[in-house]
Amino acid sequence: MTVRLDNPPWLTSAATRAVFAALEAAGGPGCARFVGGSVRNALLGQAVDDIDIATTLEPEAAFGAIRKAGLKAVPTGLAHGTVTAVSGHRPYEITTLRRDVTTDGRNATVAFTDDWGEDAARRDFRLNALYADLTGRIYDPTGAGVEDALAGRVIFVGDPVTRIREDYLRILRFFRFYAWYGRDVPDAVAMAACAAEAEGLARLSAERVSKELMKLLAAPDPRRAVAAMAAAGVLARILPEAETGPVFQRLCDLSADPVLRLAALVPAEADLLRGLAGRLRLSNAVRDRLVTGAEAAAAVRPDMGDRAARAAVYRLGARAVQDALMRQRAAGAGAPVDDQRLTALITGWTPPVLPVGGRDLARLGVAPGPETGRLLKAFEAGWIADDFPAGGHEARLRALLDPGPNPPPG
């Protein structure tokens, strides 16, 4: 039975047709097909982000054809068969049909081919080994990719152990695709292969591991996939700190943010999270967010008042307070009396700048030095405690210099 895509806009656009016209001018009709995620997602009625194209043209020929057509061509990976065409301000990754010659679990030496079946045989899962032409007709070389996609099954192409040993990242890709597309229980044969080959994950770079993990955690509901990873012994390999208990379970209902979900998978301990971020080579921004969120956890509660919330935002930053509050809610700590009020305050309040500095103290006769820092720190503590008053700053400083029976003004 012939299956066709229902003319999604990205397939029928002038930009897409220009790329196909350029390739077919060099390789003839049928030399190019859409492949992988765009076909799978369009079949399922889901959004398409990246458009990948497979072609029988060799890389140099594809590169030349794109340039000859007046489109921008980028040699993104000629040795591995990949060039990128830019048409209508959109990138199209074009890869020559390939077969593996040698693999080492991380990288493969490939040879180019004109056999669509050989190209499909080296792909990871049957639902990813789908191709479509410019009319929307789907080609399914494994004979089961369309059925798998529609049924929510993630099954390796051919022997799972063979596919995994070609690239151990496929273990994590299995759980990531299960998180996004799987239904019911994961494939038992795939699970057994992932468990048996999990030791090979140690051969992967931290960057590849963390990228897959974050993509998995960004799925609408990653909980079943994370549970399957734990059951296969895979989660412990990449995230030995993981705790898949109630905090993580509840937070997945509260937020779709993969960074928050990662934080909820481990104890809220700043040093532990700092070490985790370093081990996984997470970006500095993600590392800092994880650490500051953990540091804020002890200072905030969902039922805190406005004054306490402002003090927390001033000291810790709005993002850290929001993250800590989300974790507290997931942990069931405190009763959010007015959640909308607190969220509006945290996101809408701009912390003021400390209204005094060393020059103000110098005018009062304090010489520059350690005493200046001590006095400014004391001033700031009282100013925060009094909820950031707009005036009375000089009187407060004078009171710190000559404390009498009366406290600094509030």
Q: pLDDT digit string (tens) for 291-318?
A: 999 999 888 888 888 999 999 999 999 9
Q: Is residue 127 part of a domain?
A: yes
pLDDT bin (cut points 50, 70, 90) of residue 77 is: confident
Whether 44 and 111 share a structural domain: yes
The per-residue pLDDT for 337 is 47
Q: Is residue 88 part of a domain?
A: yes
| CA–CA dist 40, 307 (Å, integer) | 51
Whether 202 and 305 share a structural domain: no
Q: Is residue 294 part of a domain?
A: yes
Q: Is residue 61 part of a domain?
A: yes
Q: Is residue 217 part of a domain?
A: yes
Range 193-199, long-range pairs (CB < 8 A, 24+ positions): 193/156, 193/160, 193/161, 193/164, 194/160, 194/164, 194/232, 194/234, 195/232, 195/233, 195/234, 196/161, 197/161, 197/164, 197/165, 197/168, 197/171, 198/171, 198/232, 198/233, 198/234, 198/237, 199/237
Whether 330 and 209 share a structural domain: no
Mean pLDDT is lowest, of 34-43, 150-159, 300-309, 377-386, for 300-309
Whether 97 and 134 share a structural domain: yes
Q: Is residue 89 part of a domain?
A: yes
Q: Is residue 214 part of a domain?
A: yes
Whether 1 and 146 share a structural domain: yes
Query: Which of 151, 169, 192 finishes a domain?
Result: 151
Whether 299 and 324 share a structural domain: yes
Cβ atoms of 79 and 95 closer than 8 Å: no
Interval 104-117 mean pLDDT? 78
Q: Is residue 41 part of a domain?
A: yes
Structure tokens at 124: 């990871």
Whether 281 and 342 share a structural domain: yes
The per-residue pLDDT for 405 is 54
Query: Which of 151, 180, 208 finishes a domain?
Result: 151
End-to-end CA distance of the chain: 79
User: Which CATH number is 82's domain given?
Assistant: 3.30.460.10
Whether 186 and 278 share a structural domain: no
Interval 182-207 mean pLDDT? 96
Query: Which of 122, 151, 180 finishes a domain?
Result: 151
Interval 249-259 mean pLDDT? 95
Whole-prediction pTM value?
A: 0.86
Count of structural domains, the chain: 4
DSSP class of residue 184 equals: S
The per-residue pLDDT for 370 is 92
Residue 338 has pLDDT above 90, yes or no: no
Whether 205 and 341 share a structural domain: no
The per-residue pLDDT for 104 is 60
Whether 386 and 270 share a structural domain: no
Whether 366 and 343 share a structural domain: no
Interval 132-158 mean pLDDT? 96
Domain containing residue 222: 157-238
Whether 321 and 379 share a structural domain: no
Residues 6 or more apart in contact with residue 217 via CB below 8 angstroms: 226, 258, 261, 262
Write down the mean pLDDT value for the chain.
Answer: 92
